[in-house]
Structure 1
Amino acid sequence: MPIRRTKDLDSLYDEVAGYDLVVVPDAPFASALDRRLDRPRFGSFAVTPRRLAAGRREQAEDRLAFLEIIDRSDHDWRAVAHAVGNALQCWEHRGSLDAILEYDGYSDGTTRDVVEMMRTIRTTSKRLTETVIDDDRSIAVVGYDQLTELERSILPETFDRVELFTDGEFEYPRFHVFESATDIVSALLDTITDRNAERVAVVLDGGSRYSSLVESAFEAAGIPFYGGPGFIDDPHHRAFIRLLRIGFRGTETTVGDCRPILAGMGSDVSIDDHQKRLDAVERPELEWIREFRLSVEERTFSEALGTYARKAGVELARFDEELRTLGIADEPVTSGGVDRLSYYVQTYEVPVDRDNEGVLLADAKSSAYVDRPVVFHLGMGREWTHSAPQRPWVDTEAQFERYVGNFQRLLQSGDRQYYLVQDTAGGDPVTPCLYFGDLIDEEFERFSDLESVQHRRRPRSTGVGFDRRPPDVDPETVETISQSGLNSYVNSPRDYLFGNLLDAPDQERFVEGNLFHDFAEFYVDHPDVIADTDIGELIDAMLEEAKPFVSSADETLRRRKYRIGLGLITEYLDDDGPESDAFLTGTSGWGDNFFAVYFDEAIDSPLTERWFEDHGLGVKGKIDLVKAPDHLLDYKSGGKKRTSQIVKRAAIDPPADTPNFQAALYLTYYRTVQPNEQLEFTFFHFLEPMDDVIAGEADLGDALTTVTYYPFTFDEYVGSRDAYETLLDGYNDCRETFDDLGYSAYCDVMGQLTFPETTDRNELRASEFAEEFTAAIDGGTSDDVDAEKGADQAIRELNGVRKRTFFREDLDAFETFVDERLEELNDRRAGEERFPVDGLAGEPNYRRVDNRDLLLAEERDD
């Protein structure tokens, strides 16, 4: 059905002006009609059923009922809130308070007690039940279908219905499509000033990113507004709740946990300290929080609030008043009490004093009419769609019709409407509000499929209003990328961007990993110094360095971990370390080394922590250890990976779910240092055998994973002597078959065939290659061997080599891949397109995302 046109407010007023009383579905609409009165009158003219019954401005009856019931009973607060919500909602839809007791799944003991107490509480719903409009007056009801069963109960037998809509169709304005929410808010700032604010309304989802962006932008620009943040949105209120929670977190509380509290004080701490334990960081601005945490249970809620208010230099009288309303102001602070308080302020809209001046911010799901000349509708995505109450007493079809009716009215609010939307968010299409699907006959998936105008960033545009002028600054070109940067970029370009824009805090795993790396580097250069030092002394130094991140309760386990890790690194380097560094030129060193500083010794070996940066290849990195001219090694404190996993995670078409290009990138660079040479890259997972060390059964080989690079193609490899020897070391039937066949015949067979590109076992077995290869092998061997089975095992064996080895074409393709990513990256840095959330493989692996809170993934479309 099309969008029905609402009646013009002036013509609707003319239609109802002769009535004694006009009943309407929502308060802003009633106020708009009242403002058109052309003569004085006694009493109400246009009014909602609830305001008429209550005789005053409507109040949040769910909160008032909750407060009354927790004061009169000992029931759990959550159970009371749940029961009050259900009872009021059922009352609204059924017209009777007792109706909730007809539903077995909802009439538990708490609900029955709540219903009994609500009989005497003067809620607006109770007043509605007791009120009927006198039929001696002329009554007009505007939008009868929008009223609920309880609201209709107030009406007399005789009244006239007045339709909200005409028979005409509303020609909705075109959509203004922007590239980001920030661009939309910037467009608002180009249009709205403190001089025209009283004429403007902004409709948005109160829980979306638009709300906080608009409020912050208006505050910064000095534009007055109202209807926005609520009681719990006050940063000091939120910080106080955070402070109470920190009081019960124990010694694992970090400095980062205290950031909102410190912000309320106008102070901050270095990002390096954010993940350090509060008790381990000695800073004056943190001392009072430590003292508060230790004494929190000795304070009342009111005393705790007073402490915060004094430290922040603010008055929090409204919060103190709410504590007294709840009856907990003079109660001792407890963990359960904090949970209840937090639940209350998150659940109920606590009244706040507002100056009703400036731009009106209206919630898209709470408003049906906005009486301002100019109305901006922001976002208009599926977050504007209501979730119909899934309760047996709700007529979902009738409720949906109310929602659609309100939505149609909201779209037409104002003399001029502007729809400001995005086509994509986080790299994904934005789904328009689902009501559009019922109201627009055209086929569409996104806003740009409808009549719209695009507002894109222009490198040097001169427009005003919706056409913003970006800064005339040439972007800096990225010429090289590290393996970690490439991993992040391929997983999620947006996360990579934030990782480069924002400083990252020190973290436990990085601190410990760096300590082990520094030890390995130092030991290669100074094994004699370590040999003459008590290992316990080194462990003490490491524990002191990691102390801000770890609890003292873990010290015994960490001592064992450090002792075993250092021992395994020492054992490996003693048994299988580099024999010479004569094949390398010297280097200038890389950063500080904890043990070099500790022992006051320099590190001069060119074998360790060797930095490279190749602008031709576009890669850079740091090699932990050059073990031999053809062999690199990297220390890993994490879990061991199989060789096939390392190669699989370096896949580029498509990338893996957990991309890791370290081996491919390092070997790509190092083959330019040692061209046409077979190379090896070993990952030494030095903590992998820790359990075996404790059991006395450690084998260093279990900690090593080595991936090989061959300087020739896989096609060249399969016909080589090396490949043939691999088959002779394979499964029994494979070994017998190819021993019988001989290398010369094998070489002839492979010279006439091309191994398929697929690595899928089933596809290989079903391929034409498999059929021809099996036939050739069968024809070249005796009946004493199972040639068919041997050929199948050979295909599996050769495919296994391919899946755990890098060949020349693999690293050639990787070089191209890096070039493409750098070109793409620089285009995005130049503003030609946004950095999307999704990577090359689609939705990012969020376990590998470092800036999860900044990706707005909750707004993604499925």
Structure 2
Amino acid sequence: MPLREAKSIDTLAAETREADLTLSADPPLTLALDRHTSTPRLGRASATPRSYAANEFVPSDRRRLFTELITQTDLTWKQAHRALDRCLQCWDKTGALDTITDYPEFDTPQFHSTRDILHETDSSYHDLEDTTLSDSTDVAVINEPGLSPLDRTLLPDSYQQVDPFTGDTTSLPQFHVFPSTTAIVDALITQLDTHTAEAVGIVLDESSLLSPLVESALETACIPYQGGPGFIDDPDVRTFLRLAEAVFTGSDLRVADLRPLVERLGIDLDRTADHRRVDSVDVGPAYEQFADALHTGTVDDAISAYERAAESSLSQLREESDKLGLLSTAFTPQRLTQLQYYIESFDIPVDQPNEGILLTDGAATSYIDRPVVFYLGLGDGWAQQPPDRPWVDPVEHVQQDLNRFEVLLQNGQERHFLVQASQADADSSPCVYFQDIVDQPVESFSDLPHTTHGGDATRDSVGTPFVAPETPDGEQEPPETISQSTLQRLANCPREEFFHRLVESPTTIPMARGTVIHEAAEVCATHPETVRERQEDVVDAMVDQIRAYATTPRERVERTKCVLALETIQQYLDAHPPTDTPYETYTDRSQSNNLAERLGLTVDSTLTERWFQAPDIGLHGFVDLLHTETALVDYKTGSQSTAGKLRQQASLDPLHDEPNFQAAAYLAQHRRENPNQPLEIRFVHLLEHDTQLARGDTVPLEELVTTVEYLPCTFGEFAARRETFDAVTDYADSNDRVKALDSLGYEAYREFFESHDLPRKGINTERREAIIQSFIEYTKNRVKDTKYVERGCRSAVEDIDGLVGERYLTEDLDAFEAFVATQRERLAAYREEGFPVRTREDGPNWDRVDAQDVVIDDV
């Protein structure tokens, strides 16, 4: 594939060796040419026009000019920076400062003021305008079209033009395509060491993830490098600004937002308090002193407080603040905004090492004076977008940048192109300039000459196991019991169960609300009259427990939710008082009730928050309320589901996308307590209609309850029940089911199904169809041989399948208990061999994975 061949730095040095001065618009090239000069001389052999005129390698007077503007005008910092930026750009690109106000967009008072101050203030732009080279100076200019009009004012009448290209073509090298960013960094680091660092250059997109990964990898490997993070990337400067921003957030600041900032101050905050407001926890005296300095002191006071807490220096930030006139002013949110804007807008020079690997940005340079160059990424960020300015010709800008890009690709005696195959399940996009360099469409790196490394074609479709911790010698025994929540995690994403054991989840406001409402339900069941008498105190105590997680405006909303939940609990218990019955398979509570303690009450009911641990079915858990001998109650603060939806979510083959086994688990446990009896679990949704209730609307209590039944019978026995017959004939008289089965009568219906064990749909299909045909003939013989009888009988059987879809039968809970046993065995195997991400082909439902940031999908 053809590529215009670029001259090497050695070649350019040879072609310009006889010149008194070599000019180029590329500062790294001029420095490289200086290093290639072997003849002793005064001054620089090569320079950019502005650096030559100002006698500086890289003139850096923009910050000084900005300070002049904000001290001599009433412009805001943002206005001053914008006006300065546009004026200097126009001056450079047109050769005259006054041109800026010729454009209507910039013919405004702020640009007139900026122009006038720039006219009066010394700068490298004035130096360049005022400097001339005599005709006796032998000048060579590399890539003369790359010089700006202001640059060209320095040129004498006669000079040597040096083309950066040879006029021949060359070929692109092989691209090394890797599956991920980390794979690129790993491959790079294996090629580097401290002894060869001075010979290596690395080109990448400084705004991409590659940049911090490469810097971190080099630091870890103790390999020196230069050209890395700037002033804004200094960890103490960044922490100081972000910590100040966090403090000014006020009472709604969360522990999770503060933790990474105060870690640099040596403060370790409890992760379980992540969603708590900072003002509800004790952060420590170092943080309190820093916060106090922000609220009451000067910028200098705040910097000093941080330095004491972090035991580090912010001397350069102090110097910059002093130059800006801020050091002795009060540290206010406005001052913080100004500091942040200044640091983000200007390139503040920092002392950096002058040795080691050279890191450089792929969109900002042409030449790297190193024999070995690694090019990483080569994506969209390597092309400069033309600025939307009236003095910029976008076509010319793109052509000049394309020239730069072609030169850039040909640095070094050894060149290695390391790129990523895809990102976010889509092919990575090569830099747009490859479309101009090669003679075919380029949509991915596979369209260029390449070698693939570390492909994923051989990976197991169910995921690579996460390495499990070491276990004691011997076979790992299955855990005796597991909870229904563990069961749901294993079904959806086994690896989440691994991290759930390692990383305790922080309490969120919905969790805190749910906890206090459940505690209130227990207090209501234990002390109903006390709650009525002290209703306001109970709500106040509930809100106190939530306050640490709620924003100040949110407190009123949470109070309303607490009031509505408490009233609904009371209404339900008044309408359906629990029966005080002794139970054998449930034991005393083992957890405290914080709300009761706040109210000075004890909760010792034998019906609320009852613990069960059942090794024979492999389950354990808490039941909110043992309502009657045959009914359980579970309070819910989330959205309501129908019984049919809950049954679907508990499907075992295939597993549902949103597994929910709570009803099955609790019914399986309760049938141990009451075998051979119909049972039910009632989910009382306390906040399902909170908006209507808050408006004062009346919502029938039964609309808040979802009931899931268990019937101790087979499917065939269910079909023969009177309730089933009534349900399948609950239609208009004209319906085929009614015309057929009402005439048949329940007794004849029951006799048939008691003598014919009807299988479920999808099980023993041939036998099921034979029984249906027998039922049709049975009914025809007793009613009438018509089409409506056949249609009615078949429709009635289909209805029976639908009715079972909302209930559990004996075989359903038997199958569920077998599923639990299998999952316990799998859990034991996972602890021995490793936890996979997925158990089904389409992978986990990521919306149901709490630890997404640590559960990495390997497939």
TM-score interval, smaller chain: 0.7 to 0.9
**What is the alpha-carbon distance in structure 1 between the residues aligned to residue 680 and residue 408 of structure 2?**
66
Q: Does 1:39 align with 2:39?
A: yes
Q: Does 1:667 align with 2:696?
A: no
Q: Is the 8 A contact 2:362 2:382 kept in 1?
A: yes
Q: Does 1:515 align with 2:512?
A: no
Q: How much has 1:175 moved relative to structure 2?
A: 0.8
**What is the alpha-carbon distance in structure 2 between the residues aligned to residue 622 and residue 311 of structure 1?**
46
CA deviation map 1:32-69 (0-9, x unaligned) = 22222232234432222332333212234543432221
Partner of 2:693: 692
SS at match of 1:18: coil
Q: Is the 8 A contact 1:140 1:160 kept in 2?
A: yes
Q: Is the 8 A contact 2:290 2:306 kept in 1?
A: no
CA deviation map 1:707-735 (0-9, x unaligned) = 679999999999999899668767x8x97
Partner of 1:382: 380
Partner of 1:451: 450
Partner of 2:704: 703
Give 1 or 2 for the bigger CA radius of gyration: 2
**What is the alpha-carbon distance in structure 2 between the residues aligned to residue 314 and residue 545 of structure 1?**
38
Q: Is the 8 A contact 1:610 1:625 kept in 2?
A: no
**What is the alpha-carbon distance in structure 1 between the residues aligned to residue 741 and residue 197 of structure 2?**
89
Q: How much has 1:323 moved relative to structure 2?
A: 0.6
* Pair 553,33 (structure 1): closer, same or farther in 2 beyond 3 Å: closer
SS at match of 1:695: coil
Partner of 2:165: 164
CA deviation map 1:510-567 (0-9, x unaligned) = 223112223435655x457966984455445444444533467876765554344233
* Pair 715,70 (structure 1): closer, same or farther in 2 beyond 3 Å: farther
Partner of 1:412: 410
CA deviation map 1:483-520 (0-9, x unaligned) = 76788899999999877764433333322311222343
More displaced 10-residue stretch of structure 1: 490-499 or 78-87: 490-499
Q: Is the 8 A contact 1:173 1:417 kept in 2?
A: no
Question: 1:314 is matched with which residue: 312, 315, 318?
Answer: 312
Q: Is the 8 A contact 1:277 1:550 kept in 2?
A: yes
* Pair 521,350 (structure 1): closer, same or farther in 2 beyond 3 Å: same
SS at match of 2:248: coil
Q: Is the 8 A contact 2:469 2:831 kept in 1?
A: no
1:391-470 correspondence to structure 2 within 5 Å = 391-425=389-423, 429-440=427-438, 441=440, 445-446=444-445, 450-455=449-454
More displaced 10-residue stretch of structure 1: 81-90 or 302-311: 81-90
1:73-88 correspondence to structure 2 within 5 Å = 73-88=73-88
Q: How much has 1:75 moved relative to structure 2?
A: 0.9
> Which amino acid counterpart does residue 404 of structure 2 have in structure 1?
N
Q: Is the 8 A contact 2:542 2:595 kept in 1?
A: no
Partner of 1:208: 208
Q: How much has 1:27 moved relative to structure 2?
A: 1.4
Partner of 1:263: 263
**What is the alpha-carbon distance in structure 2 between the residues aligned to residue 655 and residue 91 of structure 1?**
68
SS at match of 1:248: helix
> Which amino acid counterpart does residue 395 of structure 2 have in structure 1?
E
Partner of 1:117: 117
Partner of 1:765: none
**What is the alpha-carbon distance in structure 2 between the residues aligned to residue 450 and residue 710 of structure 1?**
67
Sequence identity percentage: 28
Q: How much has 1:321 moved relative to structure 2?
A: 0.9
Q: Structure 2: 5+ residue runs without aligned partners?
A: 459-465, 753-759, 763-785
Q: Is the 8 A contact 1:584 1:606 kept in 2?
A: no
Q: How much has 1:317 moved relative to structure 2?
A: 1.9
Q: How much has 1:320 moved relative to structure 2?
A: 1.1
> Which amino acid counterpart does residue 252 of structure 1 have in structure 2?
D
TM-score, normalised with respect to structure 2 = 0.75
CA deviation map 1:216-258 (0-9, x unaligned) = 3433443322221221222221222234334533322334443
Q: Is the 8 A contact 1:424 1:430 kept in 2?
A: yes
**What is the alpha-carbon distance in structure 2 between the residues aligned to residue 439 and residue 829 of structure 1?**
54
> Which amino acid counterpart does residue 36 of structure 1 have in structure 2?
H
**What is the alpha-carbon distance in structure 2 between the residues aligned to residue 179 and residue 99 of structure 1?**
49
Partner of 2:635: 635
* Pair 438,281 (structure 1): closer, same or farther in 2 beyond 3 Å: same
SS at match of 1:137: coil
CA deviation map 1:785-817 (0-9, x unaligned) = xxx9x9xx99x9999989989999999999999
* Pair 660,755 (structure 1): closer, same or farther in 2 beyond 3 Å: closer
**What is the alpha-carbon distance in structure 2 between the residues aligned to residue 428 and residue 488 of structure 1?**
29
**What is the alpha-carbon distance in structure 1 between the residues aligned to residue 411 and residue 612 of structure 2?**
63
TM-score, normalised with respect to structure 1 = 0.75
1:237-386 correspondence to structure 2 within 5 Å = 237-283=237-283, 285=284, 287-290=285-288, 292-293=290-291, 296-386=294-384
CA deviation map 1:417-438 (0-9, x unaligned) = 3333433445654433343444
SS at match of 1:376: strand
Partner of 2:462: none
* Pair 59,709 (structure 1): closer, same or farther in 2 beyond 3 Å: farther
**What is the alpha-carbon distance in structure 2 between the residues aligned to residue 615 and residue 376 of structure 1?**
62
* Pair 721,268 (structure 1): closer, same or farther in 2 beyond 3 Å: same
SS at match of 1:175: strand
Q: How much has 1:324 moved relative to structure 2?
A: 1.3
Q: Is the 8 A contact 1:689 1:702 kept in 2?
A: no
Q: How much has 1:74 moved relative to structure 2?
A: 0.9
**What is the alpha-carbon distance in structure 2 between the residues aligned to residue 131 and residue 803 of structure 1?**
90
Partner of 2:48: 48
SS at match of 1:506: coil
Q: Is the 8 A contact 1:301 1:328 kept in 2?
A: yes
Q: Is the 8 A contact 2:495 2:836 kept in 1?
A: no
1:153-232 correspondence to structure 2 within 5 Å = 154-158=154-158, 159-175=160-176, 177-181=178-182, 183-232=183-232
Q: Is the 8 A contact 1:677 1:710 kept in 2?
A: yes
**What is the alpha-carbon distance in structure 1 between the residues aligned to residue 606 and residue 51 of structure 2?**
83
Alpha-carbon RMSD: 5.6
**What is the alpha-carbon distance in structure 2 between the residues aligned to residue 391 and residue 824 of structure 1?**
63
More displaced 10-residue stretch of structure 1: 566-575 or 418-427: 418-427
Q: How much has 1:327 moved relative to structure 2?
A: 1.5
* Pair 563,222 (structure 1): closer, same or farther in 2 beyond 3 Å: same
Q: How much has 1:362 moved relative to structure 2?
A: 1.6
* Pair 231,163 (structure 1): closer, same or farther in 2 beyond 3 Å: closer
Q: Count matched residues.
A: 805
More displaced 10-residue stretch of structure 1: 197-206 or 486-495: 486-495
> Which amino acid counterpart does residue 335 of structure 2 have in structure 1?
G
Q: How much has 1:151 moved relative to structure 2?
A: 3.9
Q: How much has 1:196 moved relative to structure 2?
A: 3.0
Q: Is the 8 A contact 1:202 1:361 kept in 2?
A: yes
**What is the alpha-carbon distance in structure 2 between the residues aligned to residue 592 and residue 117 of structure 1?**
71
Q: How much has 1:81 moved relative to structure 2?
A: 1.9
**What is the alpha-carbon distance in structure 2 between the residues aligned to residue 3 and residue 830 of structure 1?**
52
**What is the alpha-carbon distance in structure 1 between the residues aligned to residue 647 and residue 112 of structure 2?**
64
SS at match of 1:252: coil
1:479-558 correspondence to structure 2 within 5 Å = 502-521=503-522, 526=526, 534-550=534-550
**What is the alpha-carbon distance in structure 1 between the residues aligned to residue 363 and residue 232 of structure 2?**
19
* Pair 244,602 (structure 1): closer, same or farther in 2 beyond 3 Å: closer
**What is the alpha-carbon distance in structure 2 between the residues aligned to residue 698 and residue 704 of structure 1?**
11
> Which amino acid counterpart does residue 568 of structure 1 have in structure 2?
T
Partner of 2:463: none
1:556-595 correspondence to structure 2 within 5 Å = 561-576=561-576, 579=579, 585-587=585-587, 589=589, 591-594=591-594
More displaced 10-residue stretch of structure 1: 229-238 or 579-588: 579-588
Q: How much has 1:336 moved relative to structure 2?
A: 1.8
Q: How much has 1:625 moved relative to structure 2?
A: 4.9
Q: Structure 1: 5+ residue runs without aligned partners?
A: 460-469, 749-753, 757-778, 783-787, 858-862
